[in-house]
Chains A and B, each alone.
Chain A
Amino acid sequence: SYVLTQPPSVSVAPGKTARITCGGNNIGSKSVHWYQQKPGQAPVLVIYYDSDRPSGIPERFSGSNSGNTATLTISRVEAGDEADYYCQVWDSSSDHAVFGGGTQLTVL
């Protein structure tokens, strides 16, 4: 089964740039989707197909995917961005969804 690896935590000062990685074998050949989850709330889709943003998601959120690493980048981080972030792919070989272990973003 396909495995996605995320760092457990990332810390960033307000106004700076946060980068959250998602590692997987040749993940660059897959489409990666990212979700934001605040405490006590359901996940919210923030990036789909590596770098597309749903309506309502600020332009500060962007994504990239190449080789063995996909990256969610949050520019000009705000206190309200503090949350857990999960990457997700669809494993076509077994035809099911796979989530990463999640990364807790802390705004210092």
Chain B
Amino acid sequence: QITLKESGPTLVKPTQTLTLTCTFSGFSLSTSGVGVGWIRQPPGKALEWLALIYWDDDKRYSPSLKSRLTITKDTSKNQVVLTMTNMDPVDTATYYCAHRHPGDPFFDYWGQGTLVTVSS
């Protein structure tokens, strides 16, 4: 059974760096074809894809946010970490991590999400 869970601060100040951790079980990020992505959703708005890391450490970023994002993995801990620099109130959103089906371009399992508020 695949599960994912996001963790991190619920409140960050403008200009600060956000660090979110996705802890997962039921699969290994060392298995060929596997990926873990991050998607966010501002309150009342649409989903926005942020980043993806593959089993081979290949990484992809949203073109509009690429300069602010870093995604890394710790295979031994079954964790993926997303950092976003220079946080702004518009970055207030629920942040989800999700399992990308091996070799396929969709997300078949999602975490419950974590709400991050950016405010001074």
Contact = CB atoms under 8 A, between A and B. Distances in A.
B63 A96 contact: yes
B52 A96 contact: yes
B62 A99 contact: no
A108 interface: no
A43 B60 contact: no
Interface in A59-90: 86, 88-90
Contact of B49 (A37, A54, A96): A96
Interface string B89-108: 00000001000010011111
A102 B60 CA distance: 23
Nearest to A99: B47
Nearest to B66: A96
A33 B105 contact: yes
Contacts of B61: 96
A102 B39 CA distance: 14
Nearest to A98: B49
Interface in A23-43: 31, 33, 35, 37, 42-43
A38 to B, nearest CB: 12
B101 to A, nearest CB: 8
A3 interface: no
B37 A97 contact: yes
A45 interface: yes
Contacts of B60: 95-96
Contacts of B107: 35, 43, 45, 88, 97
A44 B98 CA distance: 11
Interface stretch (B12-20, B23-31, B72-80, B109-117): B109-117
Contact of B52 (A31, A42, A43, A97): A97
Interface of B: 37, 39, 46-49, 52, 60-64, 96, 101, 104-108, 110-113
